[in-house]
Amino acid sequence: MNTTSTVETTPSVLFELRGVCKEYTMGEVVVPALRGASLTIQRGELLVILGPSGSGKSTLLNIIGGLDAPTRGEVMFRGQDLARFNESQRTQYRRKHIGFVFQFYNLMPNLTAEENVELATEISTDPMAPAEALDMVHLGERRTHFPSQLSGGEQQRVAIARAVAKRPEILLCDEPTGALDIATGKVVLEALCEINRRVQTTLILITHNASIAGLADRVVEMRDGEVHHITINEKRQSVDDLAW
Amino acid sequence: MSPFHKKLFRAMFYAWPQSLGVIAVVMCGIAAYICVYSAYLNLSLTRDTYYTQNRFADFEIMVERAPETVIFKLENLPGVRQVRKRIVEEVNVDIDGVDEPRIGRLISMPSRHTPVINDVVMLQGRYFDTGEQQVAILSEHFARANGLEVGGRFQISVDNKKYSLRIVGIGASPEYVYMIPNVQALVPSPERFGILWVPEEFAETALDLKSACNNIIGLVDDPEQLDVILDEADKLLDPYGVFAKTKRENQLSNRFISDEIKGLGVSARIIPTLFLGIAALILLILLNRMVRTERTQIGLMKAFGYSNWSVGFHYIEYGLILAVTGCLAGFLLGQWMAGGMIKIYVQFYQFPILESRVYLDVLTRSMGITLVFATLGALTAAIQAAQIQPAESMRAEAPSRVARIWLEYLPFIWRRISFTWKMILRNISRNRFRSSVNCFGVAISLSLLLMGFFMSDSVQFGMDFQFQDVQREDVKVSFQKEQGRDVLYEASRFPNVRRAEGLLEYPFEIRVGWKKKDIVVVGIEKDAEMQRVMNFDLDVFPLGDGGLVLAESLADDLSVGPGDMVTLEPLMGRIDQIYEVPVRAVAQQFLGTAAYMDHGALSRMLNEPYAITSALLRIDSGSRDVLNKRLKDIGGVAAVSFKADAYQSMMDTMGQSMNITNSILLAFAGVIAFSIIYNITAVSLSERQRELASLRVLGLSIPEVGRIMYMENILMGALGVVIGLPMGMGICALLVEAYSNDMFRLPFHIARRTYIFSILLTMSFVLLANLAARRKIRRLDLVEVLKERE
């Protein structure tokens, strides 16, 4: 499939990345992390990005999420180029549109599950009730627990609830199951798929576990800082069917 | 170098502001210690050597007139080693070109230089030649202040006869290291009072004391026996009119230096304890945090097979290396400062020899103290590190138990609090350790600053108190003998004198039970304006008939209070009566240890209808020279002291040396206060990196994230201020106790601007530290921080 075929931004297109390059300067050495990656992201789709370490998939995700700015190229979102955003515009963008889930849950240890979710709902304009967000990840019962009283999988689901609660346009998950065992990982993935199905949140999921790819609408394979191949799944697998 | 040590040094280098903070605090502590303790040792050694080399007397007895023959009887008393008779008399000194009256204390010396008790050390010129009569050796500072040199001449008047004396030498004596004429003088004024050592024959002729003496000094075998010996001597000398008996410990000059040395000893204990305690505290915080962040590494080391001991010791070593570095730097700084300190002392005290050494013993001691404190500071961290289980350490540390704050149980209030404030309150209440460390650090910093400012405040207040509120005359004219009302009347009719008041000062032995002390009782007239008895709150004590008002230090010494009875025995021999007098009140005094009484009552105790020993005058400004000329012609004047001069010389000597020490103390306090606050802020920032990064990712802007942290720090800072104020006041109260001595008491007075300054300075340190933290928040690499495992 030709990745540059879509020129017109149709209403169903959420992001349009064109020739995105990112170079890190470390002392005198310039290390390229992305070498002209181009990608279109459709509203409501579940996209899995696969690739070995160093292929640039996390960098790509961070650029989409507004944690990082590209060195060259365009990242079009609602007619605006993210690449030209300054720090405070990126902060506003993150605040309004982005939900992040990391491999390590990054919960505030001294806040309860519900308070961790409140952290996000307090700063957004049209959030879910924290309790509702926790219900979505089936943790309604445990909302008064502190992270130390929750298992790894539960903590990750609190992190997901926190990310979803502000009703972001897109949920970006960087190895969300990387620190979890198979069974727990499946529960977390199920939670993510459910959100994608029910709230129609666009979801990008980075992993180097190829077996997860079956969940996706499309699978993007990255290699050496470029989009190497995109596969469209005719039919998405359910979490239970995944061969881990 | 083992990889362990490489890790150690790199960690120190990486956290250089913290490392530097610890080093700086240890350095300040040790420098202050070395400086003060060396001064203590140097001065003690100098004093002791000087006393021994020149046979400083164990006792001194003043009599009206005793024959030579009694000396042999005294020498035969059991326990007495040696006795010397002297003639001591105060005389007016007339120097060409000097209008103001100068007072010289004439002291007779043998005509041939042999080692005698209270010997003179020749600094310049020579001793007398046999047969020489009208020659003198002058004390050094007096000669210098009046421009007198060897070979020069000056006049003295004794009993209305004038003698011209030639200066053959310049000298010094252990008897006058602190050169003041009497206890009321308190501060040396080198140009006004000095010693004139003259040949015995000349003194005998001039004062009409042929083969007699009026002053006896001696050495004893065992100073413990002094009381018994002096009682025996008193019996022997009784027919010759004993004015006063003084033991070495009460000898004026010795009392001043010994008090000063004692004060240094106290500082040498307080200062390092305070500073090094703080250094230990910083180490404790720094290392505990290090152990927490290095949990995984520690586990890994142990997994490799390093023992608990070697891992634990690693952190102690960290503390030790910083502390030892600080200690060595402090040693050098301290040595340098000690040199300066000794120079101040030499200005103030007249020591012809100066035993100044580098005490290796001091270095080993400071090293010892430092090591103990550093180890204490590092100990909990080391124990924690030793206790970490390798397998467990690979998993994330379970956060400590957390609880809700009470406010959360009051939903009607809690709901109204903004989100940011909820965050802040939760952070504070759920990280109690971190919050209390923040708070405590600020409290310590504030108390240190308060302490630094307090010393100058206190001295300034004391000086103002003494020279504005208590002493309100312009000139004090003291007479050699008691005078009647006519002299006061005459003085009040001098040109330019606006008001004259009489003052009666008389020496007594005061006794309560077995405790006794030689004091001066000051008689103040009922309507007196120029000398008042008051306490530090500026309440004036009325002196009703008959009762005594005691200086606080004297009352403490004798353990008496208002209502108690004391026994007063006049010392100058003439009056044999003993009086029982009630203590009316106890007054705080900045200077001196006098007792006060109504003038009329005191006169009656001396069997006089009206007697004064000095006149206090208030004069027109600019009329000083006129007054000096008039006073020069009046016989019987023992001293003229202008209050402005006394204030000035006090400021020049004590004020100056205090200013230097206070500035150093304040500078140290500032360094330490900032180190503590900066360190604690930096530590709490690095503990919270992940938390702050998470907030940033969620979409909080840098100012929003910053605000949460600053507000938290500022809130804890404010709380620290609230705690620090009483804490600092407590330290100041301790200092008052530690530094007050017989002669002088620090007022517990903290100026309002000191509170304001200290609080502002502390809070600006907090803001400055947060500003530095803000830069770190800005540079926070969100992606990196969040990808690290917890």
CB contact at 8 A, B220 and B55: no
SS (HEC) of B232-265: HHHHHHHHHCEEEEEEHHHCHHHHHHHHHHHHHH
Task: Compute φ and ψ for B28, nearest 5 degrees.
Answer: -60, -45
Q: Where are the alpha helices (DSSP H) in B118-248?
A: 140-145, 200-206, 226-237
The residues with which A223 forms a beta bridge, in sequence order, are A226
pLDDT at position B392, please? 67
Residue located via tokens 């005459």:
B490
Contact: A110, B789; criterion CB under 8 Å: no
Residue located via tokens 């979490």:
A239
A–B CB contacts, 8 A cutoff, strictly below? 78
Q: Which residues of B touch A (CB under 8 A)?
A: 398-399, 402, 419, 423, 426-427, 430-431, 690-691, 693-702, 704, 782-783, 786-790
| DSSP helix/strand/coil, A182 | helix
Instruction: Give the span between the Cα atoms of A157 and A141, in whole angstroms.
Output: 13
Instruction: Write out pLDDT tens, residues B588-616.
Output: 888 777 899 999 889 988 888 889 999 99
pLDDT band at B35 (very low <50, low <70, confident <90, very high): confident
Chain B nearest-CA distance from A56, in A, is: 13
- C-alpha torsion sign, points B375, B377, B380, B382: negative
pLDDT band at B57 (very low <50, low <70, confident <90, very high): very high
Instruction: Write out pLDDT tens, residues B324-367.
Output: 999 999 999 988 888 888 777 777 788 887 777 778 888 888 88
Residue of A226, A190, A184 lying closest to A205 (CA atoms): A190
Instruction: Give the span between the Cα atoms of B512 and B495, in whole angstroms.
Output: 46
All residues of chain B having their beta carbon less than 8 Å from the beta carbon of residue A146 are 399, 402
pLDDT of B89 > 60? The answer is yes
CB contact at 8 A, A22 and A63: yes
Contact: B427, A124; criterion CB under 8 Å: no
Instruction: Write out pLDDT tens, residues B203-231.
Output: 999 999 999 999 999 999 999 999 899 99
pLDDT at position A75, please? 94
* Residue at B136: amino acid letter: A
**Integer angstrom CA distances of residue B292 from B165, B300, B317, B382, B678:** 81, 14, 17, 11, 20
Contact: A110, B430; criterion CB under 8 Å: yes
All residues of chain B having their beta carbon less than 8 Å from the beta carbon of residue A148 are 398-399, 402
Contact: A104, B783; criterion CB under 8 Å: no
pLDDT at position A180, please? 82
Residue of B610, B634, B597 lying closest to B477 (CA atoms): B634
Mean pLDDT value of segment B757-768: 90
Q: Which of B197-201, B474-478, B552-556, B636-640 has the lowest mean pLDDT?
A: B636-640
Mean pLDDT value of segment A68-82: 91
All residues of chain A having their beta carbon less than 8 Å from the beta carbon of residue B782 are 67
Q: List the single residue in B691, B782, B788 with the smallest CB-CB distance to A108.
A: B691
CB contact at 8 A, A42 and A12: yes
Residue of B521, B498, B492 lying closest to B508 (CA atoms): B521
Burial state string for B401-431 with b = 16 or more CB within 10 A and e = fewer than 16 = ebeeeeebeeeeeeeeeeeeebbbbbbbbbb
pLDDT at position B108, please? 95
pLDDT band at A2 (very low <50, low <70, confident <90, very high): very low
Q: Beta strand pairing status for B612-619 and B565-570?
A: unpaired
Q: List the single residue in A91, A98, A108 with the smallest CB-CB distance to B701.
A: A91
Tokens at B83, concatenated: 């006795």
pLDDT of A219 > 80? The answer is yes
Chain A nearest-CA distance from B261, in A, is: 55
Burial state string for A104-131 with b = 16 or more CB within 10 A and e = fewer than 16 = bbbbbbbbbbbbbbbbbbbbbeebbebe
Q: List the single residue in A95, A106, A115 with the smallest CB-CB distance to B699.
A: A95
Residue located via tokens 């005698």:
B116
pLDDT band at B648 (very low <50, low <70, confident <90, very high): confident
pLDDT band at B51 (very low <50, low <70, confident <90, very high): very high
All residues of chain B having their beta carbon less than 8 Å from the beta carbon of residue A110 are 399, 402, 426-427, 430-431
Higher pLDDT, B122 or B245: B122
Higher pLDDT, B790 or B100: B100
Contact: A95, B698; criterion CB under 8 Å: yes
Report the percentage of chain B scoring pLDDT > 90: 25
Instruction: Write out pLDDT tens, residues B719-728.
Output: 999 999 999 9
Chain A nearest-CA distance from B300, in A, is: 19
Contact: B783, A94; criterion CB under 8 Å: no
Chain B nearest-CA distance from A224, in A, is: 20
Contact: B695, A119; criterion CB under 8 Å: yes
Mean pLDDT value of segment B659-672: 77
All residues of chain A having their beta carbon less than 8 Å from the beta carbon of residue B784 are none
Instruction: Give the span between the Cα atoms of B88 and B131, in whole angstroms.
Output: 20
Tokens at B684, concatenated: 């709490």
pLDDT band at B381 (very low <50, low <70, confident <90, very high): confident
**Integer angstrom CA distances of residue B20 from B27, B279, B568, B569, B582:** 10, 11, 60, 62, 60
Tokens at B662, concatenated: 């206070």
Contact: B698, A123; criterion CB under 8 Å: yes
CB contact at 8 A, B259 and B743: yes
Report the percentage of chain A scoring pLDDT > 90: 35
Report the percentage of chain B scoring pLDDT > 70: 95
Residue A144 burial by Cβ neighbours in a 10 Å radius (0-12, 13-18, 19+)? exposed
Residue located via tokens 């491999």:
A103
SS (HEC) of B585-648: EEECCCECCCEEEEHHHHHHHCCCCCCEEEEEEEECCCCHHHHHHHHHHCCCEEEEEEHHHHHH
Contact: B699, A147; criterion CB under 8 Å: no
pLDDT of A59 > 60? The answer is yes
Q: List the single residue in B431, B693, B788 with the smallest CB-CB distance to A110.
A: B431
Contact: B700, A95; criterion CB under 8 Å: yes
Residue located via tokens 């902060």:
A91
Mean pLDDT value of segment A103-109: 82
Chain B nearest-CA distance from A104, in A, is: 6
Residue located via tokens 């993210």:
A82
Contact: A103, B787; criterion CB under 8 Å: yes
Q: CB atoms < 10 A from the CB of A182, how many?
A: 9
Mean pLDDT value of segment A181-191: 87
pLDDT of B42 > 50? The answer is yes
Mean pLDDT value of segment B552-567: 89
pLDDT at position A34, please? 92
All residues of chain A having their beta carbon less than 8 Å from the beta carbon of residue B700 are 91, 95, 123
Q: Beta strand pairing status for B161-172 and B135-139?
A: parallel
pLDDT of B311 > 70? The answer is yes
All residues of chain B having their beta carbon less than 8 Å from the beta carbon of residue A70 are none
pLDDT band at B787 (very low <50, low <70, confident <90, very high): low
pLDDT of B742 > 80? The answer is no
Nearest chain B residue to A145 by CA: give it.
Answer: B402
Q: Give ipTM to 2 decimals.
A: 0.78
E strands in chain A: 13-26, 29-42, 46-50, 72-77, 80-81, 98-101, 170-174, 202-207, 218-223, 226-232
**Integer angstrom CA distances of residue B685 from A81, A110, B681, B774:** 34, 16, 6, 9
pLDDT at position A9, please? 47
Chain A nearest-CA distance from B704, in A, is: 11
Tell me the residue length of chain B. Answer: 790
Interface test with B, best of A85, A103, A108 (most B CBs within 10 A): A108
Contact: B399, A110; criterion CB under 8 Å: yes
All residues of chain A having their beta carbon less than 8 Å from the beta carbon of residue B698 are 94-95, 100, 119-120, 123, 162
Contact: B700, A123; criterion CB under 8 Å: yes
Chain B nearest-CA distance from A61, in A, is: 11
pLDDT band at B781 (very low <50, low <70, confident <90, very high): confident
pLDDT band at A1 (very low <50, low <70, confident <90, very high): very low
Contact: A87, B700; criterion CB under 8 Å: no
* Residue at B613: amino acid letter: T
Chain B nearest-CA distance from A100, in A, is: 7
Average pLDDT value over all residues in chain B? 85
pLDDT at position A5, please? 42
Chain B nearest-CA distance from A4, in A, is: 29
Tokens at B693, concatenated: 């990064």
Instruction: Write out pLDDT tens, residues A6-36.
Output: 444 455 889 999 999 999 887 788 889 999 9
pLDDT at position A202, please? 93
Interface test with B, best of A60, A100, A106, A125 (most B CBs within 10 A): A106
Instruction: Write out pLDDT tens, residues B390-413.
Output: 766 655 555 555 566 676 777 777
pLDDT band at B479 (very low <50, low <70, confident <90, very high): confident
Contact: A91, B694; criterion CB under 8 Å: no
Contact: A106, B694; criterion CB under 8 Å: yes
Chain A nearest-CA distance from B768, in A, is: 24
Chain A nearest-CA distance from B299, in A, is: 19
Instruction: Give the span between the Cα atoms of B486 and B613, in whole angstroms.
Output: 13
Q: Which residues of A touch B (CB under 8 A)?
A: 58, 62, 65, 67-68, 87-88, 91-92, 94-96, 98, 100, 102-104, 106-111, 115, 118-120, 122-124, 146-148, 162, 166, 174, 179
All residues of chain A having their beta carbon less than 8 Å from the beta carbon of residue B430 are 110
pLDDT at position B248, please? 93
Instruction: Give the span between the Cα atoms of B596 and B526, in whole angstroms.
Output: 12
Instruction: Write out pLDDT tens, residues B251-300.
Output: 989 988 888 888 888 878 877 777 778 778 777 877 887 787 777 778 87
Chain B nearest-CA distance from A212, in A, is: 21
All residues of chain A having their beta carbon less than 8 Å from the beta carbon of residue B789 are 103-104, 179
All residues of chain A having their beta carbon less than 8 Å from the beta carbon of residue B292 are none
Instruction: Give the span between the Cα atoms of A2 and B140, in whole angstroms.
Output: 105
The residues with which A101 forms a beta bridge, in sequence order, are A173
Residue of B135, B140, B136 lying closest to B124 (CA atoms): B140
